[in-house]
Chains A and B, each alone.
Chain A
Amino acid sequence: MPKTTLQDLNISAQCKKYNLPLWQCPHFFFVIMGVVMTGVISAVYSIGLHYLDDPQVIALVILFLAAALFIITFVITKAFEKMAEANRLKSEFVSIVTHQLRSPLTSLSWAVEALISGEFGKIDEKQLEFLKILKENNSRMGELIKDLITVTKVEDGSQFKNKESVSLEGITKDLVFKFQPFLQASGVELIIKADENLPQVMTVASQIKIAVENLVDNAIRYAKSRNGAKGLIEILIKKREKNIQFEIEDNGVGIPEEDQKYIFQKFFRSRNVKEAQPYGSGLGLFITKSIIGRLGGKVGFKSEEGKGTTFWFILPIK
């Protein structure tokens, strides 16, 4: 038997190749369908044998139909396989491209930084202004690439394998500490309120950090932009039956009603947000929703334009 046929028969290896769990894997379904069909044929044959005069004819007809169905199923399965392969290649392509883009961006960033420092000769005000534009745009491209890499990793599921016991409160406090300079620069006050004796969550710490970081980053960006008024953010972490709920409320620009249904779409940025913050990839909320979904949780929000937004997510404790 050729080696490729043997590899095709290894269902577990085939599913792993596409990063799919067994119950979502076309190869597994193919085998299940085969078993079901064989069972049906046997059952019909058995019924025919006991209740009809010429069961062999019926069984042959059914066998023929089953064979036809089997071929069709095989074709469908192959199509699924092709789709999964295309998706895997797409993720691989995005990953390679984004990694390759990072290196030239680094040289650009460091070269501009060296020029701005003035160590390679004096720079006049106009030159400095242009160099700062270069630096800012370089940094934006860097952020976009970082988001694209995160999206690729979330979609291929490769980062969700190692669950551990994690304190959501601890992760949130660490992140807020990291955001202190940004909070101060933006004139935004952030309060964390957490239930006492919160249980730990069995989850993937690195991914939860990304999800929470996106929500905190968004809240600060849009809370500070509200008619020059002081921004206020409140984070609530509480236990809800078998889940932990995280809630982040800001008094920022809010999301216009007509945009709310699109808010978790890839690259979507609402009208008033573009006015308040012209730059942004529109990937943050998509990433957060994908991560929480992968970890078995749910994400939602309520918002009123001009008044503020509350994003929340729940995660199963175990």
Chain B
Amino acid sequence: MKKILFIEDETSLQKAFGTILKDKGYEVVSAFDGETGLKLAKDERPDLILLDLILPKAHGFEVLKKLKEEKETQQIPVIVLTNLEEMENVGKALELGAMAYLIKAQYSLEEVLGKIKKALGES
């Protein structure tokens, strides 16, 4: 079973999307802030990280930077899942090593699940 670390501070999105991911057969580990996200990435070694950008304790870019710096986590693919749509944020995330940058409001559930499958090499 593939493991996904979902770093997102919005409780309702954690619950709704977490349930959907579990229903699709993934193991889901949740983190509600940047610091916990970093710790869980090292402890749990997930197959994929879904990362929001506006997070308490550590901003998503800080988390992404550290994930790509640390030996234990730098190989884990990261999909940035946010509602920040400015081009400079997209560029910065990709430059820091994110695999993809998805603006939540512009993607349907089906499309996001498709991107996750692709990132996990399932399609």
Contact = CB atoms under 8 A, between A and B. Distances in A.
Given A99-B54, A99-B84, A111-B16, A106 B23 contact: no
Please classify how large the interface on chain A is, using the bins under 10, 10 to 19, 20 to 34, 35 or more: 20 to 34
B20 A102 contact: no
A78 to B, nearest CB: 32
Contacts, number: 53
Tell me which of A109, A113, A114 has the highest count of chain B C-beta atoms within 10 A of its own C-beta.
A114
Given A102-B83, A102-B105, A105-B105, A110 B23 contact: no
Interface in A95-144: 99, 102-111, 113-114, 119-120, 142
Nearest to B103: A102
Nearest to B15: A107
A206 B16 contact: no
B83 A114 contact: no
Contact of A206 (B20, B87, B108, B110): B87
Interface string B41-66: 00000000000001000000000000
A114 B13 contact: no
Interface residues of B, number: 20
B20 A104 contact: no
A178 interface: no
Contacts of B83: 99, 102-103, 106
A302 interface: no
A145 B112 CA distance: 21
Interface in B15-40: 15-17, 19-20, 23
Given A110-B17, A113-B108, A114-B16, A103 B23 contact: no
Interface in B65-123: 83-85, 87, 104-105, 108-110, 112
Nearest to A158: B86
Given A119-B23, A142-B105, A146-B105, A103 B16 contact: no
Contacts of B87: 206
8 contacts: A102-B105, A104-B13, A105-B105, A107-B16, A107-B17, A109-B109, A114-B16, A114-B23
Interface of A: 99, 102-111, 113-114, 119-120, 142, 145-146, 149, 206
